[in-house]
Amino acid sequence: MVPYEALYGRHCKTPICWEEIGERKLSKVELIDHTKEIVSKIKEKLKAAQDRQKSYADTRKRPLEFNAGDHVFLKVSPLKENLRFGKREKLAPRFIAPFEILQRVGHVAYRLALPLAL
């Protein structure tokens, strides 16, 4: 859906559409044809760029599934000016120790065997 249609709930009434709706007679039909060609070329290039970006993103994605008994690293985000996990700021770890998965709770949620300190 085009953003204009999403906002206003109707098609945009540009000079391209005036001839179809019949609100006004245009004297320069060549201008409309030229504009239609430009818009179609822009749509094709946008579609090609979207497809290219999608293919780049899809190659980097991989489905991750874990089973009970597997070990995974826990991602943490250290807070500024707090000592977290023994180090500060740039040297703070992004992932901490491997923890065992006890059970799968949801599609992407797991219950881990965390120590009492966490």
Q: How far apart are CA 56 and CA 4, in angstroms?
A: 29
Report the alpha-carbon distance of residue 110 to residue 78 in Å, rounded: 22
Q: State pLDDT tens for residues 48-97.
A: 999 999 998 888 777 788 889 999 998 876 555 544 555 556 666 777 88
Backbone angles phi, psi at 33, to 5 degrees: -60, -40
Report the relative pairing of strands 95-104 and 110-112 from DSSP bridges: antiparallel
Whole-prediction pTM? 0.44
Nearest to 112 by CA among 91, 93, 97, 94: 97
Check residues 2 and 10 and name the one with the higher pLDDT.
10
Query: What is the residue-wise DSSP string for 31-62?
Result: HHHHHHHHHHHHHHHHHHHHHHHHHHHHHH--
Q: For residues 27 and 21, is the Cβ–Cβ distance under 8 A? A: no
- Rounded CA-CA distance 105/111 in Å is 6
